[in-house]
Amino acid sequence: MRRQQAQGLLQGVEALRFFVSGFIHIQLAIDLDLQGTDFEVQVWNALSEVPTGTTATYGEIAARLGVPRQAREVGEACAANKLAIVVPCHRIVKKDGSISGYRWGVRRKRALLEREHRARLLRPAGANPHEMAAS
């Protein structure tokens, strides 16, 4: 593994450690080798654009991808996601805002959303999340 890749991986692991501890939200800056259909990879990339502490609906993601009638297929792509937190499918909810199925359980999905929401409310506007982790 090249030195730059190793450093990126270590930074990602550190960010995950802080996230799991409840301290900060994360935006990983590592290249992922996502393995799935072309559509699944498009969905997973779109999920990564949903800001921490917020949600989007399956239909909104479908519309962003130019396939507004494929909300169900977006849900199926979320269910196929094997990289919890890194590919944040937990941020996707039903049209009415309710929480639906989650590969790792609805209880865990709700807890992740609540943690991210709290961290977002506690973070000063414009703050670098990694600076907060150090304090």
Smallest CA-to-CA distance from 91 within 102, 82, 83, 105 is with: 102
The residues that bridge with 22 in the sheet, in sequence order, are: none
Q: Which residue is catalytic, options 89, 112, 113, 119?
A: 89
Locate 4 and state its tokens: 């730059």
Whether 78 is catalytic? no
Q: What percent of the chain has pLDDT over 70?
A: 67
The contacts of residue 54 (CB under 8 Å, 6+ apart) are 91, 120
Taking only the tens place, the pLDDT of each residue in 13-67 is 666 655 555 554 455 555 677 889 999 999 999 998 898 888 999 999 999 999 9
Locate 113 and state its tokens: 């959303």
pLDDT band at 77 (very low <50, low <70, confident <90, very high): very high
Residue that is written with structure tokens 């000063």 in the block: 124
Exposed / middle / buried, residue 13 (Cβ in 10 Å: 0-12, 13-18, 19+): exposed
